[in-house]
Structure formats: structure tokens, C-alpha cells
Amino acid sequence: MSRLKIDHITRYTYEGTVSRSHNEARMTPVSDDEQHVITAELAVKPSSASIHNYVDYFGTRVADFDVPHRHTVLEVRSSATVDVDRSAAAETDVERVGWKQLRDPHLLDTQAEYIAPTSLTAAGEELKAVAEQVRETAETPDAAAREILRRIAERVAYESGVTGVHTDADAVWSDAKGVCQDLSHVAIALLRELGIPARYVSGYIHPDEDAGIGQTVAGESHAWLEWWDGDWRAYDPTNHKTLDDSHVKVGHGRDYRDVPPLKGMLTGGSSTESLDVTVEITRLS
């Protein structure tokens, strides 16, 4: 088990004075069977912002806030302490399903959102061909998922700065490079093409397993995926591994657009002049 303290700061500095802005932050980790949130706080500057907290359709904690007056800087600070213990999940032996079970009408109904493609996860001709190759050789959905993840690791290299939030799975596969959200989108696209429910996960990762207790390191916002095979199974395609106690989940959705750390609208002023994001993670135990 790990106890992690996560501090996530996002700061927008606007080119001109903004008359008003409305935003949603999805930065607070979720409590579930594998992690427990001990403390969580979110603060906004200007401090006059009105914050409304709720849980969205997908189960993610959201801080919805409005800055109703002129401002040139917007800063969002999220701080959380989380206990993470994935050992029990790793030992659980839930029976995996076969291809026949994935065609069950009840499953198709309850998991419809995670089977249907989105604009970021729709498979084009090249990805469809890959999915068909996997389908021909994989005897089970589990085998198909493992083969998909192997092919992504073999083909797509991690490279920052070459994609954006609007880059879709087809473009990532074609260019053979991208970041964590891109690799997750490719895996989701291929899984859904085979009828395997898959969802996008947003969270954090502690990047240094050698960091000592109490040592603060530069952490990362991170993304991975989960697919349904009798239960939700998670995998980190960026680091080529199942989840461990360095991963902290914030939420899940159909793709990145359902769980961005921060999104919003503004009126007045001009486009964003600068964006600074800092994530610091401290292992407390």
C-alpha cells in the first residue's frame, strides 16, 4: 500500500482582461475498491469564484466554478491525500468472458457507451484491418486485449509535443507516436472495434519508485484504459504494465473529452497567453 499526496496547480495567464469565465475541474481522485481519498481540497484564484461540487454521469468528482468579474489570471489548486492498494485486485480471479458473452443483449445495452466509437476513438480502415487480424487469431477477448496492447507497444512510440487534445486514434496509429492519452485512445478504438467494452481513465502517476518517504517529486497527469472482461481490467499502455500503487485514478469516460482535468469558457479578453501546469507527488508511506 502507498499513501500519496498529490498537488496539482494549473495557472492560466490571459493576454487581455477576461470579463467572465466558467470552468469545470476534474482533478480530485475517486474512492473505490483500490484507493481511498483521505483528504481533498480545491481552491481557485480569484478567490471570489463560486464553487459547486458534484459527481458527474460517469462518477467523476467535478468542481464547477464561475468567476463573474474581470480577471487576468486563473489559478486552480487541487490537493489530495490518497491511500492506494491494488494488491487485492491483482489477486482476484474473476472469470473471464468469451466472445459469446460479449454479444449478450443485456451487456450490449449496459455497456453501449463503452462499445460505440467516438470521434477520438473511431477506427479507420487501417485500424479495422488490425482489429480483424487480431480477431482471426484470438480465441478469447482476453487474448485479443493482450495482443492489441502488444501491437501498440511494438508500433507506437511515446513522444510529447506531436499531438493535441483533438488528435484521434487513426492519426496516432498512422504517425506511430503520441502521449499517454493517444496510446489509450488507440487501444480503446481497437477493443471497441472487436465489441469489447473499453473506457478511458484519467489520473496521476508517481514516476519514481526509488523516491523515499517524504520526498516530493515532479509527478504527472496520466491516462490509461480499462476494458470489460467479466470485470473492469486496467492497463497502462504508456508504461506497458498493469496498474500498481503508483497510479491514482481520478475518473473515467468514453474518451479524453469526458474527463479533462480542466475545461471552461470565457468572455471578453483574448486567447490564453500562457498555461503553466505543475504536478507534485509525495509518498507519505
pLDDT tens figures, 199-242? 999 999 999 999 999 999 999 899 999 999 999 999 999 999 99
Residues 123 and 191 in one domain: yes
Grid cell for residue 132: 480483424
Question: Where residue 174 sits, what CATH number does that domain have?
Answer: 3.10.620.30
Question: Given the C-alpha cell 523516491, which residue does it identify?
Answer: 211
Is 203 found in the same domain as 178? Answer: yes
**Which parts of the chain are beta strand (E)?**
2-18, 20-25, 35-45, 50-55, 61-67, 71-84, 157-158, 177-178, 198-205, 216-218, 220-228, 232-235, 247-253, 262-267, 272-283
pLDDT of residue 93: 63
**Residues 228 and 103 occupy one common structural domain:** yes
Question: Which of 4-13, 15-24, 35-44, 266-275 comes out lowest in average pLDDT?
Answer: 266-275
> Do 241 and 101 sit in the same domain of this protein?
yes
Do the strands 61-67 and 20-25 form a parallel or antiparallel pair, or are they unpaired?
Answer: antiparallel
Q: What are the pLDDT digits (tens) for 21-54?
A: 999 999 999 999 999 999 999 999 998 888 999 9
Closest listed residue to residue 250, CA positions, set 56, 57, 45, 30:
30
What is the domain extent for residue 76? Answer: 2-85+260-283
Average pLDDT estimate for 144-165: 97
3-state secondary structure of 99: helix
Number of domains in the chain: 2
- pLDDT value, residue 2: 96
Is 135 in the same domain as 196? yes
Looking at the structure, do residues 81 and 96 belong to the same domain, yes or no? no
How far is CA 207 from each of CA 138, 178, 210, 245, rounded to the nearest angstrom? 33, 18, 9, 11
198-205 and 262-267 beta bridge pairing: unpaired
201 and 111 both lie in a single domain: yes
Pair 121, 200 in one domain: yes
Whether residues 194 and 125 fall in one domain: yes
**pTM for the model:** 0.95
Q: Which of 222, 221, 126 is nearest to 176 (CA)?
A: 126
Please give the C-alpha separations between residue 9 and each of 12, 27, 87, 248, 262, in angstroms, as whole numbers.
Answer: 10, 10, 30, 17, 11
**What mean pLDDT, rounded, does the chain reach?**
95
How many residues are given for the chain? Answer: 285
- The predicted pLDDT at position 272 comes to 63
CATH code, domain carrying 18: 2.60.40.2250
State whether 163 and 278 are in the same domain: no
- Cβ proximity of 82 and 248 under 8 Å: yes
Do 49 and 176 fall into the same domain? Answer: no
Specify whether 253 is located in the same domain as 266. no
